[in-house]
Every structure is written in C-alpha cells, then in structure tokens.
Amino acid sequence: MLISQLCKEADFTAPWFAAACSKLREGFRYHRKLWEWCYIYQALRERGALMPFKRGLGFGVGKEPLAAAFASFGCEIVATDMDVEAAKAQGWVDTNQHAVALSDLNDRGLCDPDQFNHLVTYETADMNRISDRYIGRFDFTWSSCCFEHLGSIEHGKQFIVNQMNCLRPGGVAVHTTEFNLSSNEQTLETDVLVLYRLRDIDWMVQTLKAYGYKVDIDYTVGTGPIESYVDVPPFKLNPHLRLMLDRYVSTSVGLIIEKPK
Ligand SMILES: C[S@@+](CC[C@H](N)C(=O)[O-])C[C@H]1O[C@@H](n2cnc3c(N)ncnc32)[C@H](O)[C@@H]1O
C-alpha cells in the first residue's frame, strides 16, 4: 500500500492507521501530529525497515514514541535532539517537547526496558550541522514535525538533502513537516517556524530525484468534512487536520525518500 503524502481524513479510517495507533498506544483522534507519527511508522513498515539489526537515526525526537516502537522490532536506534539549552531558548522544554533523558523515550513501555536500553542511544545533534559520524551508517532516518523549525525555509531544504548522506545504499528516509494549503507564493517564515509551500516541497523532490533518489509524491488535497474543517486559535485540537497559522491554512506533509542499492 502506498500511503499519501498529505494528511488525509481517509487515512484515519484505514486499517494501517488503527494498527499504528495501537502499536504507539495512542488514542484515536483527528490530529495531524498523530497522523505524522503513524505515517512515519507505516512508511518504514511498508519498506521493511522495522526488522532486527536495522539501524535507525531519529532527528529532533522530542518525547515521541517512535524510537521505542522501532526498538521493539529489534532495530538499533540513535535518537537525537538539539542541545537542551538551545531547546529551552526555543520553548521546546517548557512545552514538554524535548527529551532530556533516554527513559523519556520509552515512558509508555512500548519496548521491553532491557531491550530498549540495549538498542537505543540518545545523542545531541543539530539538524543544521549533521555530524560526519552519522554518514553512511543507517538503514533509515526519520523526523516528525522538525525541519520547519530550523531557522529558515532554506535550512529545511538543506537538511532534507544532507540527511540522505546518513543512509546506506538501500536505505529510506521519512520526514514530515507543515504544508501551506493557502498559497504557493506567500508563506510564513520566522526564526522558529516556517510553512512550506508546494514549490518548496517540489524543489526538495526534484533535487532529491536529481541525486538519483526515489521519491513518491501525491499532493492531492482531500475534501471530506473533517479535513475541510480549519482549527483556529485557541485550537480545539480535534479535529485538527488543518489549522490556521498566521493567515495560512496548513496541514502536514510527508516525504518518503529511498536511496538506491
Ligand atoms: C515540534 S517539536 C517535535 C518533537 C517530536 N519530533 C514530536 O513529533 O513530538 C520540534 C523538535 O525539533 C527539535 N529541533 C528544533 N531545532 C532543531 C535543530 N536545529 N536540531 C535538532 N533538533 C531541533 C526540538 O528540540 C524539538 O524536539
């Protein structure tokens, strides 16, 4: 099954979505962040990445449950996030979205604790300066809701291209971000948050393809009643597949990028 790239109402009623929620011990709700986690999980499962001895690298993991879920399959995981002082300055610590200890990543008990401690390591890593020590070492990489926070549209574009160097031949990268449904011209770009337009995502797709990577992309926008609802501040959060950010309607988009063998 090929999952679509934009957060869609139909995904929430698909069997793969229920299976992913169950694995991640997430209650069902129409929320784009839940879609991002389930999307990453499903994309990696479909490509055979979640198997014993496969090596995964997570960027900006915060307190997401994915590292523990992947380790429960026997994957060796390097979970990374930015330096805690920098994260505090950007508000990620106050909003409980930054991991300070390895055990934070298995607080739902998704992985047997001994297996988790054996397979998962936590490291500080700046997505804007990917360390040479990660180059060519991983079967998969992922990030959820992160590369829109790197300082500019350009920083996110460079991250998507650069992180491919961390993969071995045959590896797969899955990354989600925020997508501007209102305009392909005007957008939001601040130091802490950017909103990617179709043309920015398309730049990434074309650049990745020029390197010889495989990217499946489908920008079809759904028209169902739940996905047509736009949550506005103060957010009600369910449904929350589309939200108003500044003056733009946004949703989530994902990229699945495969490196040839
Ligand atoms: C919205 S939170 C998402 C956290 C987690 N991925 C999730 O889905 O819950 C954004 C994350 O990006 C991280 N981050 C922001 N800038 C970063 C950078 N330059 N390098 C690494 N991580 C960064 C933050 O520390 C935070 O964990």
- Decide whether any atom of ligand 1 lies within 6 Å of the 104 Cβ: no
Q: Is residue 2 part of a domain?
A: no
- Decide whether any atom of ligand 1 lies within 6 Å of the 65 Cβ: no
d(C-alpha 57, C-alpha 80), whole Å: 8
Q: Is the dihedral of CA 160, 161, 163, 168 positive or negative?
A: positive
Q: Which helix (H) or strand (E) segment is 120 a member of?
A: strand 120-124
- Residue 145 C-alpha to ligand 1 middle, in angstroms? 7
- Decide whether any atom of ligand 1 lies within 6 Å of the 40 Cβ: no
d(C-alpha 259, C-alpha 188), whole Å: 31
Domain that holds residue 225: 9-258
d(C-alpha 32, C-alpha 20), whole Å: 14
Q: Is residue 3 part of a domain?
A: no
Q: Is residue 4 part of a domain?
A: no
Determine the pLDDT at residue 1.
44
**Which of 217, 211, 209, 213 lies closest to 255 in space, CA to CA?**
217
Determine the pLDDT at residue 110.
98
Q: Is residue 90 part of a domain?
A: yes
CATH number at residue 231: 3.40.50.150
Q: Tell me how many domains the chain contains.
A: 1
Q: Is residue 216 part of a domain?
A: yes
Q: For ligand 1, pick from 35, 78, 81 the residue to mutate: most ligand atoms within 8 Å of CB.
A: 81
Instruction: Please list the ranges in the chain whose pLDDT falls under 70.
Output: 1-4
Determine the pLDDT at residue 86.
87
Q: What is the pLDDT of residues 217-231, one digit of tens each?
A: 888 899 999 999 999
